[in-house]
Amino acid sequence: MSTLIANIGELVTNEPGLGEGPLEVLRDAALVIEDGRIAWAGPSADAPMADDAYDAAGRAVLPGFVDSHAHLVFAGERAEEFAARMSGRPYAAGGIRTTVARTRAATDGELRANLRRLVAEMARQGTTTVECKSGYGLSVEQEERAVRIAAEAADEVTFLGAHVVPPEYDGDTAAYTRLVSTGMLAACAPHARWIDAFCEKGAFDEDQAREVLEAGRRAGLTPRVHANQLTAGPGVRLAVELDAASADHCTFLSDADVDALAGSRTVATLLPGVEFSTRQPYPDARRLIDAGATVALATDCNPGSCYSSSMAFCIAVAVRDMGMTPAEAVWGATAGGARALRRGDVGRLGPGARADVLVLDAPSHIHLAYRPGVPQVAAVWKAGRRQDGAR
């Protein structure tokens, strides 16, 4: 079964040589989906026949968003904590423990239902690739449960046992780090592709994060790092040293950090929803891009520091407050996220790519930043299937 998406006013391909400008845009374009992949993309006048057709009516078509950083296996919410922050209380990583307690008390069914609700919410907003971390269980049994449930609905699963130290290990971070690096890792690795650590004051120091991440590599997982979110520190440089796929947050960076990212294949994943929700300073995307670093955008959807699943919102904030152009922000939310997940099949709309397609109810990708907060998703396909259930 093949589907022709015709009459596309602006097709963002992210496919070098297929279009014009930083997003490789084609105008008056069409594309063909077949067997869950992009079979063809090009000018409307050259479009081949297909079994079915969808008229884009002159609207913009983009690759589906790739959200490379989210925490979706949890129970409860922390609205009161948000209200307190908005009243002047600063954000601290310790609030994670509130969610840990509620998550441990939840049933598998409750966690599964909440995860699926959030993944569906993301899909309605154009997100077709979702990375999901554990990190709200913090025991062998609970973390194994989290990654196992995450693997049921997320495209990519990350083991984040080194999120914070649970209450039962207060005063003995070294012992908890050993647990994460041994028994917990052994239980979780079969369900995950990635390993992450929160390298930050109040969480895990450089040596502890390195211990966890190197153990993960030996178990076949690829590192990612929560780095430089709350303070300047060693997280970014550790990520580059270990050839991590991404260093996430990157809010407080030294010149050496920027240079390290620019000289590596580690992606700087920026999470503007967190700064919006915590009133922290925004990361300087312009500084990173001008230095030559690869920049991705992601939501960091979680119940504490950013309870938003909207990549469009992140694009708008990145353009308004982080020095990105609309094209750079859209690239970061699509191809950039794919780079952060080391995926070549998503984040683009060239032949052979997974058919993850977003039709905007707008003539241009610029409207994602130009009209913040306005629903603009007209249709979404993931792997060639309409997300509203239509074929």
Residue 375 has pLDDT above 80, yes or no: yes
Q: Write out pLDDT tens, residues 184-234.
A: 999 999 999 999 999 999 899 999 999 999 999 999 999 999 999 999 999
- Phi, psi dihedrals of residue 335, rounded to the nearest 5°: -65, -35
- Phi, psi dihedrals of residue 123, rounded to the nearest 5°: -60, -40
Distance CA 61, CA 282 (A): 29
Mean of the per-residue pLDDT values of the chain: 96
Share of the chain above pLDDT 70, in %: 98
C-beta of residue 90 within 8 angstroms of C-beta of residue 27? no
Q: Going along the chain, which residue ranges are E strands?
A: 2-12, 25-34, 37-43, 52-55, 60-63, 65-67, 127-133, 156-162, 194-199, 222-227, 246-249, 267-270, 295-297, 357-360, 377-382, 385-386
Residue 6 has pLDDT above 50, yes or no: yes
Distance CA 281, CA 295 (A): 17
Q: Which of 317, 319, 328 is nearest to 290 (CA)?
A: 328
Residue 94 has pLDDT above 70, yes or no: no
Residue 23 has pLDDT above 70, yes or no: yes
Least confident of 76-85, 153-162, 300-309, 350-359: 76-85
Q: Which helix (H) or strand (E) is 111 found in, with range? A: helix 108-124
The per-residue pLDDT for 91 is 64
Residues listed for the chain = 391
Distance CA 99, CA 9 (A): 45
Average pLDDT rounded to a whole number, residues 240-250 = 98
Helix and strand numbers (H, E) in the chain are 15, 16
- Which residue(s) pair with 133 in the sheet? 158
Confidence of residue 343 (pLDDT cuts 50, 70, 90): very high
The per-residue pLDDT for 84 is 87
The per-residue pLDDT for 92 is 58
Confidence of residue 281 (pLDDT cuts 50, 70, 90): very high
Distance CA 66, CA 54 (A): 23
Residue of 160 and 388 predicted with greater confidence: 160
Average pLDDT rounded to a whole number, residues 235-241 = 98
Residue 42 has pLDDT above 60, yes or no: yes
Distance CA 27, CA 9 (A): 5
Distance CA 18, CA 38 (A): 13
> Would you put residue 28 in left (φ > 0), alpha (ψ -120 to 50) or beta?
left
User: How far does CA 288 lie from the centroid of its chain?
Assistant: 18
Q: Write out pLDDT tens, residues 55-93.
A: 999 999 999 999 999 999 999 999 988 998 898 877 655
Distance CA 150, CA 157 (A): 6
- pTM, whole model, 2 decimals? 0.96
The tokens describing 112, both together, are 């599964």
Residue of 235 and 391 predicted with greater confidence: 235
What 8-state DSSP symbol labels residue 16?
T
